[in-house]
Amino acid sequence: MDVNELRRDFPLLDVGKENPIYFDNACMTLRPRQVISKIVEYYSEYPGCGGRSVHRISNRVTEEFEGSRDIISCFLNAPDRDSVLFTKNTTEAINLVSMSFPFKKGDLVIGTDHEHNSNLVPWLRLKARGLIEYQPVPSCPEYEFDIEAFKELVKGAALVTMVHVSNLDGRRIPEKEIVDIAHDRGVPVLLDAAQSVPHMKIDMKGIGVDMLTFSGHKIMGPTGTGVLACDPEILKGFDTFLVGGDTVKETTYDKADFLPPPKRFEAGLQHYAGFIGLGEAIRYLDRIGPEEVHRHEVDLNLYATDLLKDKIRVMGPKEPTRRSGIFPFIVDGMNSHDIAMMLDELGNIAIRSGHHCVHSWFNSKHQESTARASFYIYNTKDEIKFFADTLESIVSDFT
């Protein structure tokens, strides 16, 4: 992978000497020209409605839209292409599961103790309504996943729903072991893969996971796009979440006859441009190769850790190879927002600061916040060096 050649595909990085250093990729990635062009292609060449009319414009929309479903299904090695449901984002996908899964009153749902709010709040809402119980698996002292505690909790569970790779510190759960243990007890597993699908090879059939979600905006795709890939047998037991146009075969004044998946879960006119663009983003990533992406991110994390190990405290796994592209850090005595603002002002460096939508973890540890740089395929070691020098200067001036 020639990173300098690849950077030319991203307009924000190909505009001259004043390019920003974009290290906020765990929040949202940049989009290549190929994705932007695909979106423009829809609005320019076939800006119609798919699946409803019989004219050639509508047929082209349907072809491109459903073609993206095929691309995504193949990329994930999903159980079935019709089990790939389009949503607005990971948050909506998990809400779809929470509102559609056939829970019985008092059923137990298990998560981790460092879930993104997207995979915590939907379950807390059901708990507050008295519909389910929710229990996070407590981490070991070094914040590793406690597989023995999980083995005990899962015995009485109805659903396991866990973050695959944490946006907080890059930590990855032992997904295959978790799935095998849960399945031995007849419990299905949902993986929040928003931070893993863009960064590593994911094989749903190989893992054996029942449900998996991710967001388009974290994988070089358009905002407002997401995916829930689900085992077809589990989908059969789901209630409908959003209903209306495009979800039904027929209606009378008395009843509605719903379509099979995926259509019964994709109510109303769809974000055609977005999902056509998402398919192009997946195609772009697949050409590079998820394994190559992961190798590049780890290489950058190793370099950043080596340059800054004596200047800051890196949070999460001590070994950089286990943090993928996530580089979370603390400067003792400094507020993370101040660090982020100074990096932006002094170096045109964009990072994230705060609680990273994992408030529950910070509140349980009585910790204020962290700064987080996050790397992707278009970032370079030269950018890492400039970031490290700028941060070192900030820390030196402050202390």
Query: Catalytic residue numbers?
Result: 357
CA-to-CA distance for 228 and 87, rounded, in angstroms?
A: 7
Amino acid at 309: K
C-beta neighbour count of 170 within 10 angstroms: 27
- Would you say 249 and 259 are in contact if contact means Cβ atoms under 8 Å apart? yes
